[in-house]
Structure 1
Amino acid sequence: MLLLALDTATPAVTVALHDADGDRTLAASHQVDARRHGELLLPAVDRVLTEAGHVLRDVSGIVVGVGPGPYTGLRVGLATAEVFGSALGIPVHGLCTLDGIAYASGLDVPFVVATDARRKEVYWARYADARTRLDEPGVERPAALPDEVTRLPAVGAGAVLYEDVFQGVRKDLPAEQSAPALARLAAEKLARGEDFPPPRPLYLRRPDAQVPASYKVVTPK
């Protein structure tokens, strides 16, 4: 089973082709650019498939990070995954982006994952270990998080950004999302027959762009 994994919910545009039967990543691409998700994603998919010696129709399933993440970047990955799934007639499996970062950490003790949510906030969730999330993801100013959260080992770009608040930042562990980790986590869940969240964006707040409360009508009466 070949799984194509991708995630654009963070500044990282990350793609991987994973052989679930052989438990190995065949090729991967990782670029960090918060403003070029739409420009970078499809060339990355093409590059990964070419490097692995496969074409898109060889893929058995799509794995996509559903966030939480900023509105525009997040939708680039989800829309691409949906198009691939529909065109190929294959399943699209959603996974929480924070779960992928947690899985990549490999930690077997309680910890917290935090990513940059902008507006001086972080998206965060607590984990019992690399595979077990304890609660639903949230968005909060780091200083407003409970002490029992900020004292935990902390993983992710949000933790690094606010290391004055998170007391146990693990800079030795990956801070960005990893498509190979997301694919391996999905392969494990598939092997166990577990359910996946739908491939829909996980928004925890309203988008930055808003319709003006009042505006001047310029069309003729």
Structure 2
Amino acid sequence: MLLAIDTSAGTSVALVDDDGRVVAERSTPDTRRHAEVIGPYLHEVVAAASPTALTGVVAGIGPGPYTGLRVGIAAARAFAFGRGIPLHAVASHDAVALALVQGGAVAGRFAVVTDARRREVAVTVYGAALPLPHTIVPAHLVARIDWVPEQGVVAHEVSEISAASLGRVALARLAATLPEVDPRPLYLRAPDVTLSTPKRVS
């Protein structure tokens, strides 16, 4: 059983069993209360399973804003470390892509789009396939006013990422023995704050 956490948009926490069924899930689309809700959500969701049933933790790594992503990834890292179980990283757009393919909503090429703020969107282009959609164009930023899907690409803009779908991606990757994804957050924009150059003291 996997505990999955995503804070790339709102906040979502879920438990999925080895067949991908949802055991428990809590979520909110609120993009400003990650730190306030992550603790209670974890407590409520984890209570639905015995401690020995958990075999891994899944962290959604974005793309997403800096503040939101670091809350979820830090929580996933801490929980995995505390329980002594593996941490698996999954790109958040992959969760949306798999849900769309499994639901029969897409075929061929399609794009997952999320709000990146500052009048920009984050876009990843996929090819519909199972057990996992394949990435055609990795996640990148586009000015919202300029965003027009290429011919033949169907765009799906979402405001929430399901942690349950995130867990299903991790299960599919584990079943296919794919390499682990780097758990570093997927920031598409340089940080606003940079370190200043120290002045030389004569």
Under TM normalisation by the shorter chain, which class is it? 0.7 to 0.9
The aligned counterpart of 2:199 is: none
Unaligned runs of 5+ in 1: 158-174, 214-221
2:14 partner amino acid = A
In the alignment, is residue 116 of structure 1 matched against residue 115 of structure 2? yes
Deviation at residue 197 of structure 1 after TM alignment: 1.1
TM-score relative to the length of structure 1:
0.79
Identity, % of aligned pairs? 39
Deviation at residue 99 of structure 1 after TM alignment: 0.8
TM-score relative to the length of structure 2:
0.86
Deviation at residue 145 of structure 1 after TM alignment: 4.1
Among 182, 196, 210, the alignment partner of 2:166 is 182
Measure, in 1, the Cα distance between the counterparts of 2:38 and 2:126: 29
Measure, in 2, the Cα distance between the counterparts of 1:184 and 1:125: 19
Deviation at residue 102 of structure 1 after TM alignment: 1.1
Among 66, 71, 78, the alignment partner of 2:73 is 78
1:6-155 superposed matches below 5 A: 6-10=5-9, 12-20=10-18, 22-50=19-47, 52=48, 54-56=49-51, 58-106=53-101, 107-129=106-128, 131-145=133-147, 148=150, 152-155=153-156
1:198 partner amino acid = D
Unaligned runs of 5+ in 2: 197-202
What number of residue pairs does the alignment pair up? 190
Measure, in 1, the Cα distance between the counterparts of 2:24 and 2:141: 33
The aligned counterpart of 2:179 is: 195
CA RMSD of aligned residues (A): 2.1
Deviation at residue 147 of structure 1 after TM alignment: 5.0
Measure, in 1, the Cα distance between the counterparts of 2:51 and 2:107: 36
Structure showing greater relative contact order (alpha-carbon pairs closer than 8 Å, 6 or more residues apart): 2
The aligned counterpart of 2:188 is: 204
